[in-house]
Chains A and B, each alone.
Chain A
Amino acid sequence: MASVIDMISFALLAAGGFCVFVGGVGVLRLPDLYTRMHAASITDTAGPLLVLAGLALQAGWSLALFKLAVILVFLAVTAPTAAYALGNAALVSGYRPAVVSDESGATDSEGEGHA
């Protein structure tokens, strides 16, 4: 029984790790701030959800479970807020998306998009 829980937990953790890593690659590889924020969002939502769920299975019914839940709520609430704050600050200061698909469909992949 314990091993079944361990296996589910392992699967959740590994999936969480995968999500996080994919997001990390995205943040490094994508061309401009807004697309990078897009990639970062997966590491802030799916990643913690899966990882903390995996840990919750390990924790069982205990104080640790409650703490995990609080951490999840913290992250779930603050990550979008931080993303909003960041995107807003960037946009207001005149930082424009670099990836603009025009008529010909060509994209501009320059990272530095100060308008």
Chain B
Amino acid sequence: MLDNMLDTIFIITATIILISALLTITAHNVVHALLYLVITMLAVSLVFFILGASFAAALQIIVYAGAVMVLFIFVTMMLHQGEKSLAQERHLFHFSTSITALLLSSLLFFELIFMLFFTSADTEKSTVTAPSSAFITVKQIGVQLYGPYSLLVVISALMLLSALITAIHISKSPATIEIKTKGHNL
């Protein structure tokens, strides 16, 4: 019963993810796209939840739907010019220009599907029919992170630092203050 319900919730969530993702990439208005993206992010976090990764789900909401989206929206606010940029976008993206892209990506999609369902049954063997019911706690993750994966933390820190410096440097050239603030936002 519970399984059935979980399946149903998963299917609904997945459908929401796919539909909103499609809407995201086909929207002409950046703001709309961003809103769809937020929906996608939230749905993904739900999937995480279903998969038992509650910490990840929380992070997903905080970082993606929170910080990253805010960044996007800031930039959009700076660049968006209302109807003009909408018209521009309509010119840049419409169905006829994306036929090739559609073709290629659907080819890839069918290949992947084929590989997923019709090639060898390794997936069935390796997966556990009944996964461990134990939820992974934040503490476990923390122990892992500052234990065997401490190098990863350092690398992430360096990566963030370099991204910070790069972002400052790139947006600095016309020497305006707002760019500097943008760097701090990170």
Note whether A and B form a binding pair.
Answer: no
- Chain A residues at the B interface, C-beta cutoff of 8 Å: none
